[in-house]
Amino acid sequence: MDDASIERSGPTRAATAIAYMAGFGNQFETEALPGALPLGRNSPQRCAYGLYAEQMSGSPFTAPRNANERSWLYRIRPSVKHFGRFKPMDCGLWRTAPCREVEVVPEQLRWDPVPLPSERVSLIEGMRTLTTAGDAQALAGMAAHVFLATSSMQDEAFVDADGELLFVLQQGGLRFVTEFGVIEAEPGEIVVVPRGVKFRAELIEGPARGYACENYGGKFTLPERGPIGANCLANARDFLTPVASFEDSDRPTSLILKWGGSLYRNQLAWSPLDVVAWHGNYAPYKYDLRRFAPVGALLYDHPDPSIFTVLTSPSETPGTANIDLVIFPERWSVAENTFRPPWYHVNIMSEFMGLIAGVYDAKPHGFVPGGVSLHNCMLPHGPDPESFEQASTSELKPVRMSGSLAFMFETRFPQRVTAYAAGSPQRQSDYVDCWRGLKKAFDPKRR
Ligand SMILES: [Fe+2]
């Protein structure tokens, strides 16, 4: 599959060769060999099959029960055996907050899609950071990346200690072979790999491109629904976590560690993806954005885009997200006597936006699938003259907004642009001019 098809799949879940467990934040349990999971205890004197028991804590031990996340892994070798004498390696274009390598005049920014390179690059080599925000070692903020992959990771595994990784697939499928099992995803889906989880990324059919959010802060969770009630938006049952599967392989493998903003490599004589069984609520998952059930304007006005929040990374301040993942999915537009596109806006939160497929209603030109726009803290944005004119004069009959899927990483922290992003040939130097054509229409004699 190339570009994302934003058609929803059928009313029942399509059969897949990969087995998943449904639900969000469940206490899952899964074993690839019968009896590999100890019964009624976590740490028996001797584990079945000669496995080692290891706890992976995604929250402090003492986190409140609703935020406490950990899994128990039963593995061929404990992780201490996979870690060792790491050697520093080149970070390529991967950057980590705080990163003040370039000063960019504060203005609205936009980039064309980064073309896939002709040379072979893996997901890790093809990671290009556009913005960083907050401070990774203060466990706050994020980085927004574009990734390009023309090659599977060969005899390599990767682990990010700096943050949780949320991948938004835009072109081409990816297989994530993780410690917890295998996830396959296609454009239109997201994959979340928690901090500290080892994985290898493989191409499924051809090259892959997409976006990644590296979340230094609170783990992504489902937003509260408030008066919306118990259903709609992202429903828990549509999140899929892999079943246990392991590699008992003696192929030499490099484990790449990202820690403190740097990359390190450790050479192993085996695969570190060796978890035979696991249980707990700290695990990778995927979600098909096309399953999102939007709730919106039924009579008039344009609600805040927070109604389209898929996942949120909370901060210590209620309602002030470290990051929100917001999408703009297919939906009906029916509001009466309403300016229907997104309104003109000045926002304390910083908005990194990408287009997975189709045409975005506020910007019919210049913002294309694979592209990026950045509307930073307190920098105004809104429809261009063409969409303002069209939306101000069109007949307001029900319109199905079809064929488009956009998303936003919205963070409380201002986003610093990297040197790569500032100097990229894909940066549109004329983006700020897109509002120049807005005319003064004010006439004090006309109501
Ligand atoms: Fe906005």
| Listed residue (95, 193, 108) closest to 433, CA to CA | 108
Q: Are 234 and 198 in contact (CB under 8 A)?
A: no
User: Rounded to the nearest whole angstrom, what is the distance from the C-alpha of residue 165 to the centroid of ligand 1?
Assistant: 24
User: Rounded to the nearest whole angstrom, what is the distance from the C-alpha of residue 346 to the centroid of ligand 1?
Assistant: 7
- The residue type found at 51 is L
- The residue type found at 231 is N
341-394: pLDDT as tens digits: 999 999 999 999 999 999 877 677 788 999 999 999 999 999 999 999 999 999
207-255: pLDDT as tens digits: 999 999 999 999 999 999 999 999 999 999 999 999 999 999 999 999 9
Q: Largest Cα–Cα distance of the chain, in whole Å?
A: 87
User: Rounded to the nearest whole angstrom, what is the distance from the C-alpha of residue 379 to the centroid of ligand 1?
Assistant: 9
Q: Are 331 and 398 in contact (CB under 8 A)?
A: no
In this prediction, residue 447 has a pLDDT band, given cuts at 50, 70 and 90, of confident
Alpha-carbon span 389 to 100, nearest angstrom = 39
Alpha-carbon span 271 to 200, nearest angstrom = 10
Structure tokens at 316: 């210590």
Alpha-carbon span 188 to 195, nearest angstrom = 23
In this prediction, residue 2 has a pLDDT band, given cuts at 50, 70 and 90, of very low
Q: Are 222 and 123 in contact (CB under 8 A)?
A: no
Q: Are 51 and 35 in contact (CB under 8 A)?
A: no
Instruction: Tell me the CA distances in angstroms from 78 to 161, 210, 266, 305, one per residue in order.
Output: 17, 32, 15, 44
pLDDT at 111 over 80: yes
3-state secondary structure the chain: CCECCCCCCCCCCCCCCCCEEECCCCCEEEECCCCCCCCCCCCCCCCHHHCEEEEEECCCCCCCHHHCCEEEEEECCCHHHHCCCCEEECCCECCCCCCCCCCCCCCCEEECCCCCCCCCCCCCCCEEEEEEEEEHHHCEEEEEEEEEECCCCCCEEEEECCCEEEEEEEECCEEEEECCEEEEECCCEEEEECCCCCEEEEECCCCEEEEEEEECCCCCECCCCHHHCCCCECCHHHEEEECCCCCCCCCCEEEEEEECCEEEEEEECCCCCCEEEEEECCCCEEEEHHHCECCCCCCCCCCCHHHHEEEEECCCCCCCCCEEEEEECCEEECCCCCCCCCCCECCCCEEEEEEEECCECCECCCCCCCCEEEECCCCCECCCHHHHHHHHHCCCCCEEECCCEEEEEEECCCCEECHHHHHCCCECCCHHHHHCCCCCCCCCCCC
User: Rounded to the nearest whole angstrom, what is the distance from the C-alpha of residue 250 to the centroid of ligand 1?
Assistant: 51
Residue 17: per-residue pLDDT: 73
Angle 62-160-69 (CA atoms, 0-180°, nearest 5)? 25
| Listed residue (423, 408, 405, 348) closest to 144, CA to CA | 408
User: Rounded to the nearest whole angstrom, what is the distance from the C-alpha of residue 303 to the centroid of ligand 1?
Assistant: 12
| Listed residue (126, 221, 87, 235) closest to 164, CA to CA | 221
User: Rounded to the nearest whole angstrom, what is the distance from the C-alpha of residue 197 to the centroid of ligand 1?
Assistant: 33
More confident of the two residues 65 and 18: 65
Positions marked catalytic: 302
Count of all residues that appear for the chain in the document: 447
Residue 322: per-residue pLDDT: 98
170-209: pLDDT as tens digits: 999 999 999 999 999 999 999 999 999 999 999 999 999 9
CB contact set of 64 (below 8 Å; sequence gap of 6+)? none
pLDDT at 312 over 70: yes
Q: 36-50: buried (b, 16+ CB within 10 Å) or exposed (e) per residue? A: bbbeeeeeeeebbee
For tokens 């991948």, what's the residue?
Answer: 167
Q: Are 323 and 217 in contact (CB under 8 A)?
A: yes
User: Rounded to the nearest whole angstrom, what is the distance from the C-alpha of residue 362 to the centroid of ligand 1?
Assistant: 11
28-56: pLDDT as tens digits: 999 999 999 999 999 999 999 999 999 99
What's the mean pLDDT in 244-267?
97
Q: Are 128 and 148 in contact (CB under 8 A)?
A: yes
The structure's pTM equals 0.96
In this prediction, residue 102 has a pLDDT band, given cuts at 50, 70 and 90, of very high
Q: Are 242 and 193 in contact (CB under 8 A)?
A: no
For tokens 């200690």, what's the residue?
Answer: 161
User: Rounded to the nearest whole angstrom, what is the distance from the C-alpha of residue 348 to the centroid of ligand 1?
Assistant: 9
User: Rounded to the nearest whole angstrom, what is the distance from the C-alpha of residue 345 to the centroid of ligand 1?
Assistant: 5
In degrees rounded to 5, what are phi and psi of residue 241?
A: -115, 140
CA atoms within 13 A on the CB side of 1: 17
In degrees rounded to 5, what are phi and psi of residue 290?
A: -75, -10
Residue 1: per-residue pLDDT: 39
